[in-house]
Each structure stands twice: as structure tokens, then as C-alpha cells.
Copies of this chain bind each other. A is one copy, B any other.
Amino acid sequence: MSIQPVPAFEPPYVMAVFSNVRTADDSGYPDTLTRMKEIVQGNPGYLGYESARTPDGLGITVAYFRNHESLTAWREDLEHQAAMKQGRNDWYESYTLHVATVERSHGFVRNG
């Protein structure tokens, strides 16, 4: 099985949970999502990203960063800011963002 959770990193690190419900408006959304992934992966403090959505439409995306400076650079990116604005205008019915410092983490992988 190749799919894997993002691993545990050495604390402290930063985690942003973005949970959301989309509108029916998909115009420009897939391309912007692809572009946002390119930008965030170019962030020197980017550690990882994972995302899932329920059949009834609740999406949860988690992005992991080495420190708050990295997350600030991502938040202040101009293309990201334009995407966030379009998100409020068009793509999201509702969302919540929780920004946190990870103090403890661990992982488990079954023996092969």
C-alpha cells in the first residue's frame, strides 16, 4: 500500500488545519489548487500536506511547516492571498482555520 499519512516530525513544528464546505462553483478551483500546492511545496519550511473530504462535503486539509516564519511566508504569498479572496467570494460555503504549534507527535507503521 503506497498511501501514507504525513509522518511525525521533531517538535516543535507548526500545523494549520483548514476545514471547509465547498459551494457548487468549481470555476478555476482545480487549477488554483494545483498552483497553490506548487507554491506551498516551494516554501523552505514546508513539511507536508494531507487532505480528505467526506461524501457529504466536509473537507479537512492539514499543512505542516517547520516554524511560524514559514507559515507567515505562505500566508503572505500574493497568489495565495488572491486565491483566499476568491475562495471567500466563490468556492467556500464555510471554513475554519486553526493554526497551532505541535508539541508532541508519534507514528505507527505495521510490520511488512
B95 and A107 contact, CB distance less than 8 A: yes
Q: Mark A22-62, 1 if CB is under 8 A from B, else 0.
A: 01000000000000000000000000001111101111101
Q: How many copies of this kind of chain does the complex include?
A: 2
Max count, chain B CB within 10 A of own CB: residue among A59, A96, A98, A104: A98
How far, in angstroms, from A40 to B40 measured CA to CA in the complex?
34
How far, in angstroms, from A29 to B88 measured CA to CA in the complex?
38
Contact sample, A vs B, 13 pairs, CB 8 Å cutoff: A1-B93, A3-B58, A5-B20, A5-B58, A6-B19, A8-B98, A17-B62, A19-B62, A50-B60, A52-B53, A60-B62, A94-B107, A94-B109
Chain A: residues with CB nearer than 8 A to chain B?
A: 1, 3-8, 15, 17, 19-21, 23, 50-54, 56-60, 62, 64, 88, 92-110
Q: A51-B60, A93-B110, A97-B106 are in contact. List 7 more A-B contacts (CB 8 A).
A: A1-B21, A3-B54, A15-B100, A17-B17, A50-B58, A53-B54, A99-B104
